[in-house]
Structure 1
Amino acid sequence: MSVETFIPEVWNAAIKEPYEKSLIFGQPSIASSAWMGEITGIGDTVHINHLSAPTVRDYTKGTPVEVEELNTTKTTLTIDQGKYFAFRVHDVDKVQAAGDFQGPATRSAGVELRDNADKYIAGLLKDGALSANKIGTVEVIDDDPSKAGAEYSAYKVLVQLSNKLNRQSVPTMGRYVVVGPDTYSALLMDPRFSRVDASGDGEGLRNGIVGRAVGFEVLVSNNTPLVAGREVAIAGVPDAFAFASQLVETEALRDPAHFGDIVRGLNVYGAAVTRPEGIATAEVKIVAPTAPSEPVAA
């Protein structure tokens, strides 16, 4: 590579591939990405409008049709997050690497940008859920659910999250739940989850998907938020959240102080909860079983 032969589009693609392929909370099946193409830099704003539902009335032949004005609810998505990378490639390193030195650094940049965006989105989802949809702390057994006493099974947490969304009349199509690794381990101990075979319908193309239960596609992420050590399980639908991200600058320049080039890039993004009723959360505290030897239903 040299400054003269640097092609930003090629580097952008190399950075975006690991970024997009490993996003969990920021993938389109969790966060709506309809406004991706409308941002050009940090400070941009996108106005998202939602129309209220029209009233359905009885029809009587010969009676004039009543026309109503629909209300509009506006959410502002602000591109207020910016992360950059900048690294030096010495000329001697380029020779030793036979032209492929930039590969690992580029992939690492994409992964680091991914982690920053995913953690940011997860935090907004956790805080943005409707208050009535926040279950709070639940103790989940770290064992077979048949051994549970006062503890919940991880499967029951999913049932309760589903109930929260059902009470808000949230559509069942496209529902997801993202759990942390400890919650996922507890789920695997429950035959109601672990015995469900893969449906073979291409669900594995979703980043992080590990199964399906209670109407949710279940995903696992190390970027799941923690509250006092408790993993926050987040359930919802894509229409409840919006995310926009753009790699706006990728450039190379000759390093004036060294024999080498500097490669740097800027990723800007923003996110917003658009329908709080479409998100539900539970703080999962994994605990050892306290039940006696006789099984008690979870």
Structure 2
Amino acid sequence: MTFPYQNPGSTTFTPEIWDSALLTEFDPLLVWCSRLVCNNKYEGDIKQRGDIVHINSLLRPTVGDYRLPEGMTSQRPETVDQVLEISEAKYLQVLVENAEALQSAGGLKSPINQQMIRAMARDADTFMGNVIAKGATALPDIKAGAANAPQALFSAILDMMLALDGNDVPDGRYVVVSPRVKRHLIEHPAIANAGAYGEGGVTTNGVVARLAGFTVLSTTAMPKGVDIVAGHPEFSTFASQFQGFRLGQSEKYRANYIDTLHLFGSKILRFPGLDTKKADNTFDESKPTKGIVKAAVEWAA
């Protein structure tokens, strides 16, 4: 198909190539939106802001006593439908003289495009971090000084482990820390000697180390007033869709534009037995989830 653009070289631009390249560059920059911290288990199509997708939670069956002659009573699987609204629509647009030449040269790796991708990733991560922190259960503040910071921070993570253990949160947990917490935490032998620290590629998705059942991550996109968040990906969903790259003729310049639209939204998930279910079979979302915990650090002068 031929397009009436001013630049003949743009007629063979292939959006799918850029779609693939964008995800390759975008995904490793994520922390809060990564699959280490949240899930993407939703049903429905995302086409525009305001769309609704659905998340089904399976109700835990009741264990019965087996006695004769009563035998057993079958239970039908029950689910609770939770809805997630696509609330955000953000775009990425670049202006080019020759789209085909830029594509052949790996245009998304150019410095300006890399910064634009970083900005989009930062925006999505900040959004998701705020949602997760808002829905988390607050634990007491951590007091850390120059002398005890590594141990105090490590002990706080162990306390978070205990809190999640008490709520039967499964393995595969994460803990996200601020850069300042990371700076002191890696002085603790348990972190410094953790197998992942120092591995090639360890900085992908902000991973610092893996220990005590946690993947430890760090990001500068920490919610205000929060220094450590721990939880499990099953307790938050990030629904995201890039709407593909378009190529068009600029109205102002003798050049083409290439753009894409990022639609996304998020939700803290609720589960029977952990969260309060209302009479209409929905959950009370005004209360924090027990599957995610958070804490702030009081730094001594």
TM-score range, shorter chain: 0.7 to 0.9
1:15 corresponds to 2:14: no
Q: Contact (CA 8 Å) 2:92, 2:260: kept in 1 or not?
A: yes
**TM-score in terms of structure 2 length:** 0.80
Q: Does 1:111 align with 2:118?
A: yes
With over 3 angstroms needed to count, the CA separation of the structure-2 counterparts of 1:10 and 1:22, relative to structure 1, is same
Change in 2 beyond 3 A, CA 1:97/1:41: closer
Residues 225-266 of structure 1, C-alpha deviation per residue, up to 9 Å, x if partnerless?
A: 122xxx431111111011111111421212233221122221
Distance 1:85 1:167 in 2: 43
Matches within 5 A, 1:21-36: 21-35=28-42
**Which residue identity is paired with 2:181?**
T
Gaps of at least 5 residues in structure 2 are: 1-6, 271-288
Correspondence for 2:241? 246
The answer on whether the counterparts of 1:17 and 1:110 sit within 8 Å (CA) in structure 2 is no
CA distance in 1, matches of 2:63, 2:100: 68
- Consecutive unaligned residues of structure 1, counting only runs of 5 or more, are 147-151, 289-298
Shift of residue 101, structure 1, vs aligned partner = 5.6
2:96 equivalent to 1:89:
yes
Q: Does 1:280 align with 2:289?
A: no
1:120 aligned onto 2:118: no
Deviations 1:107-155 (A, max 9, x none): 33322211111111100000012xxx31143222244559xxxxx7110
| Equivalent position to 2:186, from 188, 200, 204 | 188
Once residues 102 and 200 of structure 2 are traced to their aligned partners in structure 1, the CA distance between those partners, rounded to angstroms, is: 42
Q: Is the 8 A contact 1:35 1:244 kept in 2?
A: yes
Query: 2:65 & 2:253 partners in 1: Cα distance?
Result: 78
Name the structure 1 match of 2:59. Answer: 52
Equivalent of residue 260 in structure 1, options 244, 255, 261: 255
SS where residue 237 of structure 2 aligns? strand
Q: TM-score, normalised by structure 1?
A: 0.81
Contact 2:142 2:152 in 1 (8 A): no
**Residue equivalent to 1:296:** none
2:161 is matched with 162
Q: Aligned residues, how many?
A: 275
The verdict on how the C-alpha distance between 1:36 and 1:254 changes in structure 2, with shifts beyond 3 A counting, is farther
Q: Does the aligned pair in 1 maintain the 2:236–2:267 contact within 8 Å?
A: yes
2:109 paired with 1:140: no
- Percent identity over the alignment? 25
1:265–1:278 Cα change, 3 Å: same
